[in-house]
């Protein structure tokens, strides 16, 4: 049996929570490039993947922006992104 890594992120699909990850260099929301590095986590998911999940779950733009705020707060508290990067992600989410 050959182990597959569909998105070539270094995580085999069987262990990859995001088997088709967005591996762009920076976090882009609706064409707005935040300039924030698109970190890849041990789950096989990138920041952009987590934001795409928020978009899929959101009933409207306001709930998307709130979801992004919660996610970016968590990433800031975990030391993954800085306060300025949090603001850049929020600005892109609000503008789209």
Any domain includes 6: no
DSSP β-ladder status, 32-37 and 26-29: antiparallel
- Its domain, for residue 70, covers 13-94
DSSP character string of 32-93: EEEEEE--B-TTS-BHHHHHHHHHHH-SSHHHHHHHHHHHHHHHHHTTSS-HHHHHHHHHHH
Task: Give the pLDDT confidence of 12-45 residue by residue, as tens digits.
Answer: 778 778 888 888 999 999 999 999 999 998 888 9
Task: Answer yes or no: is 8 within a domain.
Answer: no
Would residue 4 count as lying in a domain? no
Q: Is 83 inside any structural domain?
A: yes
Q: What's the pLDDT at 20?
A: 81
DSSP 8-state secondary structure symbol assigned to residue 94: H
Q: Please count the structural domains in the chain.
A: 1
When mean pLDDT is compared across 6-15, 27-36, 75-84, the lowest value belongs to 6-15
Residues 61 and 68 sit within 8 Å (Cβ to Cβ): no
Nearest to 45 by CA among 81, 82, 73, 7: 7
């Amino acid at each position: 049996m050959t182990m597959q890594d569909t998105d070539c992120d270094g995580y085999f699909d069987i262990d990859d929570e995001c088997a088709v990850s967005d591996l762009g260099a920076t976090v882009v929301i609706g064409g707005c490039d935040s300039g924030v590095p698109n970190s890849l986590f041990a789950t096989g998911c990138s920041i952009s993947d987590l934001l795409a999940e928020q978009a899929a779950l959101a009933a409207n733009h306001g709930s998307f922006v709130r979801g992004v705020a919660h996610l970016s707060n968590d990433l800031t508290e975990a030391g993954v992104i800085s306060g300025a990067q949090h603001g850049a992600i929020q600005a892109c989410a609000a503008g789209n």
